[in-house]
Amino acid sequence: QVQLQESGPGLVKPSQTLSLTCTVSGGSISSGGYYWSWIRQHPGKGLEWIGYIYYSGSTYYNPSLKSRVTISVDTSKNQFSLKLSSVTAADTAVYYCARVCRGSSSDDYFDYWGQGTLVTVSS
């Protein structure tokens, strides 16, 4: 059973960089076949996809966040990470990491999720 766990500061000051790490257990990121993603949820709102990474380091980001987002992978630690720069109060949200699975019609979905971590942007 694959498990994902987010970790990182719960409070970030405005204009600083939000940094989170997702540790994967029960499966190896470097085995391939899956993308690894970050998704966020503003308080009381819906889900917003941030971006994904493959074990090779290949990434793709939500165009609305692309200028501020960096996702990286550390296969030796079976982890992948999110950095979001120049944060404002609008970046306050619960951040989830998730595994991307390719469906039978080559359409992707998220089959395993971390429990989520609340990040508040405030001085």
Partner 1 sequence: SYVLTQPPSVSVAPGQTARITCGGNNIGSKSVHWYQQKPGQAPVLVVYDDSDRPSGIPERFSGSNSGNTATLTISRVEAGDEADYYCQVWDSSSDLFYVFGTGTKVTVL
Which residues lie near partner 1 (CB under 8 A)?
37, 46-49, 60, 62-64, 96, 101, 103-105, 107-111, 113-116
Nearer to partner 1 among residue 44 and residue 123 (C-beta): 44
Tell me how far, at minimum, the Cβ of 52 lies from partner 1, in Å.
8
d(CA 117, CA 53): 19
Nearer to partner 1 among residue 42 and residue 77 (C-beta): 42
Tell me how far, at minimum, the Cβ of 34 lies from partner 1, in Å.
14
Nearest C-alpha neighbor of 89 from the set 123, 118, 52, 49: 123
Tell me how far, at minimum, the Cβ of 93 lies from partner 1, in Å.
13
Nearer to partner 1 among residue 10 and residue 103 (C-beta): 103
CA dihedral 26, 31, 35, 40 (to 10 degrees): 30
Compute the residue count for the chain: 123
Planar angle of CA 21, 24, 28, nearest 5 degrees: 130
Tell me how far, at minimum, the Cβ of 121 lies from partner 1, in Å.
20
